[in-house]
Structure 1
Amino acid sequence: MISLSSSFVRHTCTTAVASSLAALSLLAMSNAAHAADPKTLYIGMNGGNMEKTYTQFVFGPFEQKNNVKVVVVPGGSSDILAKAQAAKDKPQMHLMFLDDGVMYRAIGMGLCEKQKPNPNLAGILPVAHIKGDMATGVTISMTGLAYNTKVYADKGWAPPTSWLDMADPKLKGKVVFQSLSSSTFGLHAFLAFNKLKGGTDSNVEPGFTAWPKTVGPNVVEYIASSAKISEMAQTGEAALFPYTPTQVTILKSKGIPVEYVHPKEGGVVLMVAQCVIANNSEPQLAQELAAYLLSPEAQGKALENGSFNPTNTKVQVTGAAAAEQKRLNDYVKNSRNVDWDEVNKNRAVWNTRWNRTIER
C-alpha cells in the first residue's frame, strides 16, 4: 500500500483550489467582458450622404454614452418600408428613417410605436409631430427644381423659375423625371404641376390629362430613383429635374454643374421622419436613440456635416451652416405640405394609371 504524506496532500489540495479559483476568476473576467460588449441598434435610412453623415458625425455621442453600436441598414424609403413590413412579427431593425409620405403608410401598417415623451419633442416644429408622435420629423427640406448650368449656359437660356418650365418646348428630350410610383421627388413635382392645372391632392385628373401634351414630350427618361441623376447631369442628358437643395449641394461638391431653383409658386415640403419600430428587441434604447436624434446636438451635427436642415428650432450653428439653415428655412416658408392621408388613399390607383399611360 502506498502511503501519502500529509504535506503532499496539503500541496495537492492547495494546488487544486488555486486552479479552481483561477478558473473562476477567468470565467468572471470573461463574463464581465461579455457583459461590457456593446449592444447593437439597427436603423434603416438612405445610404450615401445621409448614412455617411450620421455614421461619422451624429451617432457617436449616443454610442459612447450608452455603450451601443448603431448600424445603418441602407436603402430608399420604399426599400426600408418593405424590409420592416416583411419582418413585422420579428423586427430586425429598431428605428427607421422614411420620407414623410412613406412614413404615413408605415404608421397605417402598424409598424411604428408612439415616441415616448422627452424634452426634445417640445423643440421641434409643429409639422414634425406626425400622427400624435407616432413618428417625428428629423430633417426638413423641400422638392423644387434643379437645372444643369452648363446646358443652360451653352444654349443661352435663362434659369428656370417655375414648375411649368418642365413643359417648355425648348426642353424636349432634356427633362429627367423620377417615377411617380417609386420616388417622392417625382410625386411632389407631379402634384405641383397638377395643382397649377387646377387639381388638388385628391383630384389629379387635371395633371394626368395635361401631362402627355406638355411635360411628357420633354422627358428623356423616367428613372426609378435619383441615383442616376448624377451620371445624366454630367453627360448633359439631364437639363432639368425635380430635386432638393441638399441633393444639389451634394452634386455640386462632386463638380457637377447644377443649381437649385425654388419655383416661384413654391416648393413641396419634404421631411425625413423617424419612428421606433413596434415590438423591436431593444424598446428602451430605441426610444432613447429617437429622442437623441431630435436634440439640438444631433441635428446641429447633421446640418454642419451633411446640410440636413433641422426640425428642432433650438439648433444654433454659425458660419456656413447658419447661412444654409437660413436659406433652407426661407424655402420652407414658401413650400406647401402634402395631404398625405388623401394621397396615400389614392396612390396605388395613381401608380397603376401612371405606369399604363405615362411610362408605357
Structure 2
Amino acid sequence: MKKYLSSIAMVMMLTTTASFAQEKPTLIVNSWGGPYEKLHKKLVFEPFEKANNVKIEVVTLYSADTLAQLRAQKDAPQYDVVHFSGGQEVIAAREGLLAPIKPEELTNAADLYPFAAEGLARGEGPVHLVTTVGLLYNEEKVPRAPDSWKDLWSDEYGDHLILTDLSNSFGMLGLLMMNQIWGGTLADTAPGLEKAGELLDRSVIISSSPEVQQNFAQNDAWLAAFAQDYAYTIRQSGLPVKFIIPKEGAPAVYFTANLVANRPNQDLAKKLIDFELSPEVQAAFAREMRYSPTNSKTELTPDVAQDVVYGDAIKSMVRFDPVQVDEIRNVLVENWKKLISR
C-alpha cells in the first residue's frame, strides 16, 4: 500500500513539475550570428535564464531584416526584445513598433552616458554597446602612425590602403566621415566621393570583415578605415594591427536593445534589457570583443581600455543621423558604384 501511495505521489510531483515547466515564461529575441551571438548567449541570455527561470529563444537575424519583420508583424508581433546596430530603432520607434521605456524602469539607466539614454524619450531602446570606425594600421610597416582621416591621402602609405565597399555599414560610415572632413554634409556627399576617387588607384576595395584580416596578412596592407573591435580580432591572429581614433573623431555604431510594442511579459523583457546595461556584462563584452561600454560605472583593465572608446574618449564619437543616412543611402550607393566602375 505504501509503495502504491509513493508511486501516486511521484506521479503527482512529476505532473506538477511538468506543469511548472510548461508555464515558464519565454522571451523571443534576435541576435546577429557568428562569434557575437555566441558571446551574447554566454554573457547575457544564459545567465538571465538561470537567474529568472525564463526561457529565451534566440533568432539569428540582422538589423535590417529585423526591422522588416517588425513591420510585417505589426498587428501580431513575435519578438519581445530586438537588437539593432544600424540606427533602425529610430525608424521603428517613429512607426510605433517599439514600446517606450521610462528611465526609472531600468536600474542602470541613471549610470548611462547621456547619449546612451537620450533615445528613451523618443521611444527608442537604450544603447548597450558601441563600436567605432577609425583607422587600423600595421604598426610594424607604417612609416608613421596615423592620427588623422586625411592621412589616407598621404603618399607615405603608398598603395597599401584598404577601402570598404558601401554594402558594408562600416564602409558607409567611413565614407560619410571622409565626406565630413573634406567639407561635405549628408545633403552633399560629392566631396567625399570625389576624395575617395583619388584613393582608388592606391587601394584594395573589400566588402566583408574577414577580407580586412586577409589583406593585412597576405596583401601587404598598412592602413584601413574599419571598426575598433575588428582590430582586436586581427591582433589575436598574431598580426601587429592597432586601432586609432583620428583627431577629427570616429563614427559611432550604436548597439541598442529595444522593447517591442504589444507583447506580453514586458516587465521581464525590460529586466533583460536592464541586464545588458549592467557594468559587469559590458565589461565582459569589452574584454572578449573590445566593444565600448555605455554604463559609466563599467571598470576596464588598462589593456582593454586602450583598445576601446572609453571614459572621456566618448566625446570623440561622431553620430550621423540614421534617418538621414537611410534617406540618402540608395543614391549614395549608386554613385559609389559608378565611381568604382570607372
Q: Please indicate the TM-score interval, normalised by the length of the shorter structure.
A: 0.7 to 0.9
Tell me the equivalent position of 1:215: 199
> 1:349 is matched by which residue type in structure 2?
V
Structure 1 residue 56: Cα displacement: 2.0
Q: Confirm whether residue 128 of structure 1 aligns to residue 116 of structure 2.
A: yes
Name the CA shift for 1:323/1:162 in 2 (closer, same or farther; >3 Å).
Answer: closer
2: CA distance, partners of 1:330 / 1:283: 34
Name the CA shift for 1:218/1:68 in 2 (closer, same or farther; >3 Å).
Answer: farther
* C-alpha distance after superposition, 1:285-325 (max 9, x if no partner): 22221122122333233334433321111223556445656
Tell me the equivalent position of 1:187: 172
Which residues of structure 1 form unaligned runs of 5+?
1-13
The DSSP-based 3-state class of the residue aligned with 2:44 is helix
From 267, 274, 278, the counterpart of 1:295:
278
1: CA distance, partners of 2:60 / 2:211: 17
> 1:124 is matched by which residue type in structure 2?
L
Tell me if the contact between 1:142 and 1:332 (Cα under 8 Å) persists in the aligned partners. Answer: no
Tell me the equivalent position of 2:55: 69
1: CA distance, partners of 2:156 / 2:302: 40
Tell me the equivalent position of 1:308: 291
> 1:30 is matched by which residue type in structure 2?
T
Tell me the equivalent position of 1:262: 245
The DSSP-based 3-state class of the residue aligned with 2:293 is coil
The DSSP-based 3-state class of the residue aligned with 1:203 is coil
Structure 1 residue 185: Cα displacement: 1.4
The DSSP-based 3-state class of the residue aligned with 2:173 is helix
Q: TM-score, normalised by structure 1?
A: 0.79
Residue correspondences, number: 336
1: CA distance, partners of 2:64 / 2:222: 27
Q: Percent identity?
A: 28
Tell me the equivalent position of 1:203: 188
Which residues of structure 2 form unaligned runs of 5+?
none
Max Rg structure: 1
2: CA distance, partners of 1:222 / 1:138: 28
Name the CA shift for 1:264/1:318 in 2 (closer, same or farther; >3 Å).
Answer: closer
Tell me if the contact between 1:145 and 1:261 (Cα under 8 Å) persists in the aligned partners. Answer: yes
The DSSP-based 3-state class of the residue aligned with 2:310 is helix
Name the CA shift for 1:77/1:239 in 2 (closer, same or farther; >3 Å).
Answer: farther
1: CA distance, partners of 2:221 / 2:27: 39
2: CA distance, partners of 1:302 / 1:329: 16
Tell me if the contact between 2:160 and 2:222 (Cα under 8 Å) persists in the aligned partners. Answer: yes
> 2:255 is matched by which residue type in structure 1?
V
Name the CA shift for 1:73/1:149 in 2 (closer, same or farther; >3 Å).
Answer: farther
* C-alpha distance after superposition, 1:214-249 (max 9, x if no partner): 1233332241x3243222322135432222222211
Q: TM-score, normalised by structure 2?
A: 0.83
